[in-house]
Chains A and B, each alone.
Chain A
Amino acid sequence: MNMKKAATLALGILTSVGGFFDVGAIATSAQAGALFRYQLLWALALGTILVVFLVEMSGRFAAVTRQALPDAIRQQFGFTSWLVPFAVLTLIHFLTLGAEIGGICFALHLLTGLRVSFWALPVAALVWLFLWRSTFSAIENSTALLGLITLAFVVAAWRYHPPMGQVLAGLLPSLPHHEPARYWYIAVGLLGAVISPYLFYFYSSGAVEDEWDESYVGVNRGVAAIGMGFGSVISVGAIVVAAVVLAPRGIQVDDYHQAALMLTQVFPFWGFALFAVSMGIACLGAAVELSLAMAYTQAQTFGWNWGEDLDPREDARFCLTYTVAILAAALLILFGVDPLKLTLLSMAINAAVLPFVALPFLLLMNDRKLLGKHANGWISNSVTILTLVVAIVLAAVSIPLMFLGG
């Protein structure tokens, strides 16, 4: 394998740091561990399997057709069919971007003691400057490298020596002993946090930015598995830590402040700061990824020139899309929207729209005229359809249940 192909792992890790282990995963993992200890690990495992397959598929699609997903979806299904999903996705991306910016602001609030809303505009400026000035590979490499700090959750989980029997038992779904509505709602939240639609738009556009061709099909498989595996292991770490630290004290995580206690036992002196920095970096990765996903989707839908490596004068509309998106999303936080509530809301919506994102995608992946011999085989199809059915049933049952039950 040559160096260029080995370096594509950075795209996988970036996608994972931003798309997998983000503000949603932190919030839902903390809640899952605090309320149900290891019992919800199965939801994470289910989400991981689905996300590995879907990410692999979107990378393979981009490598073979040289098209990212929004581009291909508009072409294959037509402008009028794409318009409504496009509008819905733009709204979800916007809310999730707000949640991620809120996550960075919260991390800075933990470190400085200044109010969350105070940080909204400085954080927006930071995210924007990162995108405005950096090339795609600089963003990939720096975020992938910084993202390694989130391994703190895995180290902490390891040091706590969790009961392995219970951890493994959690990988199999079981019925809750208490608060069933919360249990299923958090299960759906975990799925929504893990499988966010923007992941696929971002990853496939990234593959086009990195100029993948058919020879990347094999590398892509490894990148998807290792990259998403990385995010999954960290989320497992976060659930375990929450189970050990928060659950025995009856801390329920209605507020990010409670989640911040997670690392203070293993790292007494700097656990608090470590949590804040991990959270800040994970959310920064996600904010960058979301802003780009929004700009990619917008530009590809209308055929504008796009590319993170271009001089902004060559793709003015692309750059202005992420500029406006970042500013508007930061306003949510500036005007005092609660970051945790915004996160949980966007995770639930993410899970609810999942079928509408995945089904057209599955159709594309089975189109032999587009993909030839690289079209989906029966393994990809059956794994995706099976996990998808489980996700749909969960979402259909739990979301109304939660709103009815309060």
Chain B
Amino acid sequence: MLSIKDLHVYYGGIKALQGINLDVKEGEVVALIGANGAGKTTTLRSIFRLTPIVKGDIYFYEINLTKLPSYKIASLGIAHVPEGRRVFPNMTVKENLEMGAYLVKDKKVIEKNLEFVYNLFPRLKERQKQLAGTLSGGEQQMLAIGRALMSNARLLLLDEPSMGLAPLLVQEIFSVLKKINEEKITLLLVEQNANMAFSIAHRVYVMETGKIVLSGPTEEIANNEAVKKAYLGG
């Protein structure tokens, strides 16, 4: 479905990514883990062309994303849940969700998607008239995920959905992510919370300073001694 080939991204003189190769197959949950500054977020942002790509290609099926402007990428069925949530603070919850369906012209489909999101996150329905800026961090994360789902996306890119949230909320979010995957939506997940990521991922990539150092099925990675030491607390 998605394949990244030999991707290099430089910020000025800093080589953020040095030849990333990554594949996501339809229906999978793929987790990308690594320490701060390893290049996880950069990889995700590159898919949406939000970074200066020096070399390499990103394919979504047969389409080369590096040749497209950012706003066109959403129309292919890829949705991005950005780091730090980035909801539209002065719009209501419902308006935020409607913005997510900006490219969907059919009103019935929008209704249906809205129903789907409200079922996943009943809390959003309760607060649909509230300004998004006044929501709690967890609710904003739900809103950001809901907004991404409104676009009929087949591939969801999630950037640190657990960031800054209470452990209980993190569990709630991840159980919803699992439900979303059961609806045949593919997930590419960037996480620092490796334990949570392993709980839903089929496959895992481990990044270190701009390179992928390890990849494989979740059980294999979770039992790797080095990974255990570095990410799972012994």
Interaction A to B: no
